[in-house]
Every structure is written in structure tokens, then in C-alpha cells.
Amino acid sequence: MARLLVVDNEPDICALIARHLVRAGHEVLCAHDAATALAEVALHGPPDAAVLDVDMPDVDGFALLDRLRVQHRGLPALFLTVMWSGDVRTRVAEYDAGYVAKPCTESALREAVEALLTRPGATP
């Protein structure tokens, strides 16, 4: 399957998301902040896609995706958040990313990741 970078500042949520995606057959790199995420990518190579929490301290998911895409242009991304204001939805669209509202079911997460990975131009 695919190698996915999962970043959420809540360790329990990150672990739960990773567990769901591993059960779906994916390899998962977990991080709880932008610095760790960037270090994981530097160490293990680029992921096929990123699953990012929007609201994180220091560097939010959008800024992290900007940093990731500097080196990995067009990296597919899926945003997760409990805050779905019009502004957040607009930004998700501007990043040509997918989204899932938290909390989400395992099947909703799997379906969103599968849709992301099967988009034209995706390379898992």
C-alpha cells in the first residue's frame, strides 16, 4: 500500500489514526508536531501522502504542508479537524487536499485516504 505521514499533536489521536491506517495495510510515520514530522520525512524519505491535523500549536497543518511541499511538490494531503469553519474549508480547497471531520469513523478515514491515493497524479 502507501507510506503515510500522520501528524496530530494529541498522541492518543495520532496513535488511533495510525492504527486504523496500518490495519488498512499502510506504512505509517507518526509525529506530534511539525519539527518531528519534518525529521521523520528527512530520515525515512517522502511519504506518499500526509494526514494532518489542522489545529496544532506552533505550526498548523497548513503551514506544515507548505514546508513539506517545498521538497515534495504536489504531496497529497488529507486534513483532519474538529473546527470546520468556512475559512478552513476554503483553505483545504486552496491546498487541493481532502478532509475528514474529527471525530471520524475508521471507515470514513480509510475511504478518504483511498480517495486521496487514487486521485490522478497520486503515486502510492
pLDDT tens, 93-122?
A: 999 999 999 999 999 999 999 999 998 766
Judge whether 55 lies within some domain: yes
CA 48 to chain centre: 10
* pLDDT value, residue 122: 62
Question: Domain limits at 64?
Answer: 27-106
Judge whether 65 lies within some domain: yes
Q: Across residues 64-76, what is the average pLDDT?
A: 97
CA 98 to chain centre: 9
Judge whether 71 lies within some domain: yes
Q: Across residues 3-23, what is the average pLDDT?
A: 97
Over the stretch 15-51, which tens digit does the pLDDT of each residue have? 999 999 999 999 999 999 999 999 999 999 999 999 9
123 has pLDDT over 60? no
Q: Domain total for the chain?
A: 1
CA 118 to chain centre: 15
What is the pTM for the complete model shown?
A: 0.94
Q: Across residues 68-94, what is the average pLDDT?
A: 91
Among 40, 69, 34, 68, CA closest to 53: 34
Among 27, 46, 58, CA closest to 123: 46
* pLDDT value, residue 120: 78
60 has pLDDT over 60? yes
6 has pLDDT over 70? yes
List beta partners, residue 6.
Answer: 30, 51
Find the CATH number of the domain harbouring 53.
3.40.50.2300
* pLDDT value, residue 82: 87
* pLDDT value, residue 124: 52
- Grid cell of 43 as nine digits: 530520515
